[in-house]
Structure formats: C-alpha cells, structure tokens
C-alpha cells in the first residue's frame, strides 16, 4: 500500500473537486489517496478520499487576520495538512522552526502533518543537498514518538520543472531521511517523494527503497493524469 497525495495548490473549483472525488472513488486501489485542496473546498463530502489543507497557522487562535488554524481545519473533517511546502517557504517565509510549530499545532488538533523538506537549486549546486535534508528533518519534525506524521521529500528545484533527480539520488535522500527519523525515535514514519511525478515515472519512483508514496502537484489536477499514478502500483 502506498500513499498518493495530490496538491492542487491555488487551482480548481468545488465542481472540479466533486468530479475528481467521483472519478477516484470508482477506481479499484488499495493505495491511500489524499487531496490537499484550497481551504474553501475542505468541507466537500469526499467519502474514502481524504482531504488535507495546504497549510495551517502557527498560532492556536486570536488576532491573525487571514489565517486558518489547525482546529478550524480539523473541524471541517479534514484529516491531514501539508506543512512547509516549498512555495510556503518561498512566498510566506516559512522556516524549519515555523514548520515545526505548525506541525505541533496539527498534532495537538488531531491532524496528520505532511511535512515537506528539500533542497533548492542553489543548495544542490553548493553540494549541500544531504545537509539541507537532514537539518530539514531534524528541525522541522517534532520528535513525538507514536504520532501520525508523514514526510515528503521534495527537491525544490524539481517542483513543476518536469525533471526529477536520478533514482540513485532519490534513494540516497530517502535512506538519509529514514535513518534520521530512526535516530529521532520516529522510525517507520512514511516518506513520500514529490516533484514532477507523472504516470510515466510513478512506478519507477515508487519502486525505490524507502519511498512510501508520492506527492503530486500538476498531475493531480485532472483524473486522466492522476489515476494512472495511483494505479501504477498495486
Ligand atoms: C508540489 O507542488 O508539491 C509538486 C510536487 O508539484 P509538481 O508535481 O507539479 O512538480
């Protein structure tokens, strides 16, 4: 069983989501499907397809105009929240420290955080990939043993770029993340790969050791692109 998560970013409408849920509900799969959708779609009845927000506030409640708390997301029935996505780090200034605070908010409100870590192109070119991945995990992930947490390794330079690291590079990154999580007492935490996953590379990527599923951006917006990814593995 793999975890296949789609990230709609700021795309789609309620009608698009209803249609996607209908299409996904009709397929025969044992894989767990999560759709990370805009806040306004979280109340949609989604049956066996789990919904997630794409972020949450680092605060519990109060004078934070425009923000949405973990408790509010949980009250919609959503079970997950994406945290620390590359675009939130880039445009909203999320750091490993704020990501960790948000993850703690998620856990204390019964949401499973999907915590994203990964290196930028500059960090890759400076030979810092492994260092950034390890510090991302150590600093962003709360060491709460027996908690429901998912990690997504997303090389930031490959998101939306149509290119991926090599299988060996993905394997090395996931091996390091698994080892680091083990060291933090969080062994067995699922780790997804994200960035430029599509129907044609999904099986190869999900066959790499320590890859427990995928986080899919662009190819999760249309059933014709998303379903082949989900059905590529049994
Ligand atoms: C993402 O935004 O999390 C992502 C993986 O995007 P894409 O699949 O489009 O690279």
pTM of the complete model: 0.97
User: Cα–Cα–Cα angle for 151, 152, 158, nearest 5°?
Assistant: 160
pLDDT along the chain (234 residues), means of 10: 98 98 97 98 97 98 98 98 98 98 97 98 98 98 91 98 97 98 96 98 98 98 98 94
- Name the pairing type of β-strands 80-83 and 3-7: unpaired
* Distance of CA 219 from the midpoint of ligand 1 (Å): 8
Residue 5, token pair as written in the block? 């998560």
Instruction: List, in order, residues 6 or more apart from 180 with CB less than 8 Å away.
Output: 133, 134, 137, 138
How many contiguous H segments (helices) and E segments (strands) does the chain have? 9, 8
DSSP 111: P
Tell me whether residue 154 is one of the annotated catalytic residues: yes
Q: How far apart are CA 35 and CA 230, in angstroms?
A: 12
Question: Which atom of ligand 1 lies at the shortest distance from residue 220's CA?
Answer: 8
pLDDT of 147: 87
Contact 107, 80 (CB under 8 A): no
pLDDT at 17: 98
To the query of whether residue 85 is one of the catalytic residues in this protein, the response is yes
Give the pLDDT score at 234: 84
Q: DSSP label at 76?
A: T
Contact 184, 151 (CB under 8 A): no
Q: Closest Cα to residue 55, out of 133, 111, 119?
A: 111
Q: Which of 87, 119, 134, 154 is catalytic?
A: 154
**Residue 82 CA, closest ligand 1 atom number:** 3
């Amino acid at each position: 069983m793999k975890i296949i998560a789609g990230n709609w970013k700021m795309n789609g409408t309620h009608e698009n989501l209803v249609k996607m849920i209908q299409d996904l509900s009709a397929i025969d799969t044992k894989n767990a499907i999560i759709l990370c959708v805009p806040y306004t779609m979280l109340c949609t009845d989604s049956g066996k397809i789990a919904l997630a927000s794409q972020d949450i506030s680092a605060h519990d409640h109060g004078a934070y105009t425009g923000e949405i708390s973990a408790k509010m997301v949980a009250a919609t029935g959503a079970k997950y929240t994406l945290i620390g996505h590359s675009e939130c780090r880039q445009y909203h200034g999320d750091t490993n420290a704020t990501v960790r605070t948000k993850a703690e908010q998620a856990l204390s409100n019964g949401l499973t955080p999907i915590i994203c870590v990964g290196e930028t192109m500059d960090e890759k070119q400076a030979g810092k990939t492994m260092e950034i991945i390890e510090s991302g995990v150590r600093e962003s992930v709360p060491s709460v043993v027996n908690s429901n947490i998912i990690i997504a390794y997303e090389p930031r330079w490959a998101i939306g770029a149509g290119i991926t690291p090599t299988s060996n590079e993905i394997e090395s990154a996931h091996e390091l993340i698994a080892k680091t999580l083990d060291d933090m007492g969080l062994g067995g935490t699922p780790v997804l790969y994200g960035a430029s996953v599509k129907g044609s590379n999904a099986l190869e990527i999900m066959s790499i050791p320590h890859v427990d599923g995928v986080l899919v951006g662009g190819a999760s917006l249309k059933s014709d692109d998303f379903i082949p990814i989900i059905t590529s593995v049994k």
